[in-house]
Amino acid sequence: MAEAPIDAFAEFGLPAPLLRAIDGLGFARCTPIQSGVLPYSLSDYDITGQAQTGTGKTAAFLITILTRQYEFPLERPNPVGTPRALVLAPTRELAVQIEEDAHDLSNYMDTRVTAVYGGIDYAKQQQRLRNTDIDILVATPGRLLDYCGRGVVDLRRVEVLVIDEADRMLDIGFIPDVRRIVYQTPHKRERQTLFFSATFNDDVMRLANQWTLDPMHVAIEPETVAAEAVEQCFWMLAANEKRGALVRFVRQSEAGQMLVFVNRRDGVHRLVRYLQDRGIDCEGLAGDIPQRKRMATLNRFKDGDVRVVVATDVAGRGIHVEGITHVINYDLPEDAEYYVHRIGRTGRAGASGTSISFVAENDAFNLPAIEAFLGHPVVCTPPDV
């Protein structure tokens, strides 16, 4: 008979300061990915984990890293710019979120966390790396490679390597950079590797096989994520009716914060202008928006100062805001898996949420793939506004 999964953090024998931080964050019970990963990762196994954003995988790998570093302190600090753990993320927003989560979880521990990514002051980042001991380094591949090439960062003493959202790294062409980074860390026999991806197709599996050693595979199926906590609605309407329907819904709804997804960054700019011209408090997140402005928008959204944010999928991957009540698929995603990523922005941390997908003649052909991915047909109805 299989053992029941552990669902309480206290059962893992974690360090007292880490348990105190977990308790302070209100995380009484493990999510499925945490229950699956932690028994093995805390025992020094390599992991290949299949889970979407929003399932708790970030906490799973950070708890593993923090426990290891607490239980096995260094006799003397590494040289500056020499991290003990490296976390690679595909986007700046995700790197920032991981850094914030690491600070929260290490609140009662003497752990130094630093993140490096493009779009912000290069010299200030470099100065921080030159002057600070680093226990956990969170990085996007391009900026990290640049610092490695300049001798500012040394990866030869990395004990734990985390590759997060490997499928997204593949999609946006980062794998050559990631490969160069991995080769600068110790051999996989001399480090622990935690490899996470929302999907494990042949390409992702090849990468996992190259970079991990006899890993334990933990899979949380998308159906578990696309979840009962999210009410999913599909509105059938003409393409030229979408903007008006969105405006009416925002004005009439008593909903809280809304995240609106479009497929193209030029669509972000057009829709933001349209909503702002009609007096709706709205900002955009897209790859061509300067990083400082994107971070300011994200912080205002987290603080509740902006009610509506329009985003592309790339920008939306880094949004972890507990107060989002509605996700609007203004455009149906071209990749069915992105549908699950999108609606996972709401219904988080035990709260309920609603997703509304606009189904128009210009993107209705994407609906059958979404139905196949969900494993059941969906019912399209007229707009409820």
Does 4 reside within a domain? no
Lowest mean pLDDT among 53-57, 80-84, 116-120, 123-127: 53-57
Domain identity same for 216 and 337? no
89 shares its domain with 204: yes
Amino acid at 247: V
Domain end point (choices 203, 220, 237) = 220
Residue 366 identity (one-letter amino acid): N
Together in a domain, 205 and 239:
no
Q: Please check whether residues 61 and 136 belong to one and the same domain.
A: yes
Residues 138-147 have a mean pLDDT of 95
Q: Give mean pLDDT, residues 209-213.
A: 96
> Side-chain half-sphere of 209: how many Cα atoms within 13 Å?
7
Residues 213 and 247 occupy one common structural domain: no
Q: What is the pLDDT of residue 81?
A: 93
Residues 106 and 216 in one domain: yes
Dump strand ranges (E) for the chain.
47-50, 85-88, 113-116, 136-139, 160-163, 192-197, 216-219, 230-236, 257-261, 282-285, 308-311, 324-329, 353-359, 380-381
- What is the per-residue pLDDT for 106? 97
**Is the domain of 164 the same as that of 266?**
no
Res 145: pLDDT: 95
On whether both 126 and 231 belong to a single domain, the answer is no
What residues contact residue 107 under an 8 Å CB cut-off, 6+ apart? 20, 21, 24
Greater pLDDT, 328 or 222 = 328
Residues spanned by the domain of 149: 9-220
- Does residue 116 sit in the same domain as residue 164? yes
Q: Is residue 44 part of a domain?
A: yes
Which tokens go with 56?
């708790």
CATH number at residue 366: 3.40.50.300
Residue type, 260: V
pLDDT at 221: 67
The answer to whether residues 68 and 208 belong to one domain is: yes
What pLDDT sits at residue 318? Answer: 57
Q: Which pLDDT does position 168 carry in this prediction?
A: 85
For residues 376 and 321, give the distance between their C-alpha atoms in angstroms, rounded to a whole number: 28
Q: Residue 287 — pLDDT band, cuts 50, 70, 90?
A: confident
In a domain, 2, yes or no: no
Number of domains in the chain: 2
- Separation between Cα atoms, residue 112 and residue 132, nearest integer Å: 8
Q: Is the pLDDT of residue 198 over 60?
A: yes
User: For the stretch 296-333, what's the b/e string if a residue is b when 16 or more beta carbons lie within 10 angstroms of its beta carbon?
Assistant: ebbeebbeeebbbbbbbbbbbbbbbbeebbbbbbbbbb
Amino acid (1-letter code) at residue 356: I
* pLDDT: which is higher, 123 or 261: 261
Q: How much is the mean pLDDT over the chain?
A: 88
Q: Are residues 137 and 254 in the same domain?
A: no
The pLDDT assigned to 2 comes to: 42
Residue 1: per-residue pLDDT? 37
Average pLDDT over residues 197-211: 90
